[in-house]
Amino acid sequence: MTIQAIETTAIIKDQKQLLLDEPISLRGGDKVRLIILLPEENDIDHAEWLSAAAANPVFDDLNDPAEDLYTDADGKPFSDQG
């Protein structure tokens, strides 16, 4: 049996139903297996994580002008044609 995995996020509604954040293209009525990952109570959200990383002194050397190896003139523009 081949298993296809789809990752998405959802909200658990009052009636213990899942409301998906994004539509998925599946037939209705098919039985599926779910793995539900709940955030731990001490997890920080994305904005808090970015703020903590930006304030971490381990990245201070990135503010050194000697680290600016490239300019806007380097490389070629990238355009994803999908």
- Give pLDDT, residue 82: 65
When pLDDT is averaged across residues 34-57 and rounded to a whole number, the result is: 86
Does any domain span residue 2? no
Q: Fill in the DSSP letter of residue 65.
A: G
Residue where the block lists tokens 């355009």: 79
Q: Domain residues for 56? A: 43-67
Please name which of 35, 28, 29 lies closest in space to residue 5, comparing C-alpha atoms.
Answer: 35
Does any domain span residue 12? no
- pLDDT, tens digit, for every residue of 18-34? 999 998 888 888 888 88
What's the predicted TM-score (pTM) here? 0.43
Residue 63 has pLDDT above 70, yes or no: yes
Residue 1 has pLDDT above 80, yes or no: no
Looking at the DSSP bridge assignments, the partners of residue 10 are 20
Considering its fold, how many domains does the chain have in total? 1
Average pLDDT, the chain: 86
Residue 46 has pLDDT above 90, yes or no: no
- Three-state DSSP class for residue 12: strand
